[in-house]
Structure 1
């Protein structure tokens, strides 16, 4: 389950924002994922097809900001992420990353 929200665009499409726990199980800060899709169900399906099976959107507690919407609309894949700030007052200076950078598995030790 994830906190997040969505925003419906004038053309009928949506941008869904989800705060997910870090994929590394080391207790590090989580990630904020943005998805641009036809509707909320398709946005969640895109994430589930990438292996994020336990992703659900309940409510609209943390909708995407205008800057986040602009970022995902300008990305060719329409699916981006960056680390979540520790608090709402923290200014994030990290750039957005394509989702494949999050899903890339570390190389096995030789």
Structure 2
């Protein structure tokens, strides 16, 4: 099961952070995905539409940090990821970098 959390912004938008299995990786490989959306359900739907069928949010044990919130708000797609554990200088990346060149640019909702 994926673990993660969320936070609501003053604007009403929600930022969801999830730990998910890495696509094409070993069972021990995980990524941290951060997505901004109008509500939690819409954020999870965006991830499921990209192929992350295990995207579930049960509780709020690992809410997004300030750095994660800043990264996703300044990304044009409103959806970023990086490996867990991340190297100290590893930047947040676009979801297209994970899914490959055939990935559609997700609509920000």
Q: TM-score range by the shorter chain?
A: 0.7 to 0.9
Q: Give matches, 1:1-110, under 5 Å.
A: 1-85=1-85, 92-104=88-100
Alpha-carbon distance between aligned partners in 1 of 2:7 and 2:29, rounded to the nearest angstrom: 24
Q: Report SS of the residue matched to 1:33.
A: strand
Matched residue SS, 1:12: coil
* TM-score scaled by length of structure 1: 0.84
The answer for unaligned runs of 5 or more in structure 1 is 106-110
Distance, in Å, in 1 between the alignment partners of 2:9 and 2:32 is 20
After TM superposition, the runs of 4+ consecutive aligned structure 1 residues lying more than 4 A away are none
Q: Is the 8 A contact 1:6 1:14 kept in 2?
A: yes
Any unmatched runs of 5+ in structure 2?
A: 102-109
Larger Rg, first or second structure (1 or 2) = 1
Compute the displacement of 1:52 (Å).
1.2
Aligned length in residues: 101
Q: Is the 8 A contact 1:35 1:43 kept in 2?
A: yes
Give the distance between the partners of 1:102 and 1:80, measured in 2 at CA. Answer: 10
Q: Is the 8 A contact 2:20 2:54 kept in 1?
A: no
Q: What TM-score results when the alignment is normalised by the length of structure 2?
A: 0.85
CA RMSD of aligned residues (A): 1.7
User: Does the CA-based 8 Å contact 1:13-1:39 persist in structure 2?
Assistant: yes
